[in-house]
Structure 1
Amino acid sequence: MPNSSSQLELLRSVADGIAALFFPNAEVVIHDLSTNKIAYLANNLSKRKPGDDAGLEGVELDGGANVTGPYEKLNWDGKKMRSVSIAARDEQGKPSYLLCINLSTAMFEDARNALDMFLSVTRLQPQPQELFKDDWQEKINTFLHDWLRRENAALGALSREQKRRLVSDLYHQGAFKAKSAADYIANVLSMGRATVYKHLRELKQE
């Protein structure tokens, strides 16, 4: 095991690496448990500084787990942080330093809120029936994905036989009545146009 000085040097490098990897959203703080002071701080998000009181009085780590968390805490600006604390032990197994990684989740929460607002169904209007009553592409898409769910199949992994059956089912649903439907279905199913037209000729002869 490293001595206290080399251990702190190693932890500082780890702290700098984590802070650099998750910049600007991660702060890493090293607490010296022998002095109950902050020994090092990388990417300061909490407005503390080395030498400040660590606030760890009464914390028992001797028999505890080396990793605590993740847990949630509130930063000075009211924004939430998700934190993990890691105990570094000396040669006798006694905790000497506590490395705390504080990840600001504000950016992720803002992104989630933006997505929720953008995708909110309350902002959608009903599809205008007159404008899209002959939208054969959407009708094909709806039938296609209902068919895939029933068959528990993935569009990109359909076998030749599955594609043949799907073309047959689409044909019997009238999907090929639209002028460009055959080309569209061939593209969606990644089939050659000649193969689709071959299946259609066979179906018409039944």
Structure 2
Amino acid sequence: MSITRARGRYNGATAAAAARGRTGMPATGAPARRPDAPPGPRPPEMATPMRKKRSPVKDLLLTRYAPIADGIAALFFPYAEVVIHDLHDQTVLYLANNLSKREVGDDSALEEIDHSARERVIGPYEKLNWDGRRMRCVSNVLFDDEGRPAGMMCINFNIAVFDEVRATLDLFIKGAGVVAQPDELFRDDWQERINTFLHGWLRERQVGLNGLTREHRRELVEALHAEGAFRGKSAANYVANVLGMGRATVYKHLKHLKETQGDA
């Protein structure tokens, strides 16, 4: 290459650079920002979720406890939110299944934790979420390797959805517009009379059907006989089935009662 040609190329590059300086156009063709221009939006690569500068404490909390938070949130999804707070700067460090519309870096709004405290579990307690739903919460103090409180993990469970389920169940259990039993249908309902007497007898003695002894069953047959429960058709068979007795045993007790006391 001759010296003349090289100088020509150098002078051309210098002229182009000078032109770019006059026009404000960089080599790529994009306009250069004026020194007095307002700052534009941050590039996407700078929009990191961590607002505060990373620190050894934050790294410890994230490494050790963020996977636990993710696991709890996944197990109870979509009803549980798990928040990790940094107690050193009182900020939200990590959020799993965000239900509270907070953001990483927000103020924690926690009361100051005594660094001598050793209470690891706080709660359960209730809070009201932004949408008016009740949240049942448990908070766990997180300690660093020196045993000092470093963070707080809060598990916030949306229990309002269960209030709605309970209201629906109450509608079916209590019923709407339920009236008393019509007398014309249940005047001779001997089965219900037996059931009512039987469970009143069990409550008085604080015993369940499965816990009845042979003596209990004999006493029940005698008590039901005294109430006239066996006047209904097939009442003896019904009592035998309910009490888990053989029909022959019930008839044996009834025969003995008739012989000793007479027909009731």
When normalised by structure 2's length, the TM-score is 0.69
Identity %: 54
Q: Which residue of 2 aligns with 1:62?
A: 115
2:161 pairs with 107, 115, 120, which one?
Answer: 107
Q: Deviations for 1:61-90, whole angstroms, at most 9, x for unmatched residues?
A: 313333322222111211111112211122
Give, in angstroms, the shift of residue 103 of structure 1: 0.9
Aligned counterpart for 1:172 among listed residues 226, 244, 253? 226
Work out which structure has the larger RCO, using CA pairs closer than 8 Å and 6 or more positions apart in sequence.
1
Among candidates 114, 126, 138, match of residue 180 of structure 2: 126
Alignment correspondent of 1:148: 202
Q: Distance in 2 between matches of 1:60 and 1:10?
A: 20
Structure 1 runs (4+) deviating above 4 angstroms are: none
Once the two structures are TM-superposed, the CA of residue 122 in structure 1 deviates from its matched residue by: 7.5
Q: Distance in 1 between matches of 2:207 and 2:130?
A: 50
The equivalences for 1:23-34 within 5 A come to 23-34=77-88
Query: What runs of 5+ residues in structure 1 fail to find an aligned partner?
Result: none
Deviation at 1:164, TM superposition (A): 1.0
Unaligned runs of 5+ in 2: 1-55
Distance 1:151 1:106 in 2: 39
Larger radius of gyration: 2
**Separation of aligned partners in 1, 2:159 and 2:74:** 16
> Which structure has more strand as a fraction of its residues?
1
Q: Within 5 Å, which residues of 2 pair with 1:32-51?
A: 32-51=86-105
Query: 2 CA distance for matches of 1:188 and 1:138?
Result: 12
**Quick check: 138-147 or 42-51, which moved more?**
42-51
Q: Distance in 1 between matches of 2:239 and 2:225?
A: 11
- The one of 205, 214, 235 equivalent to 1:181 is 235
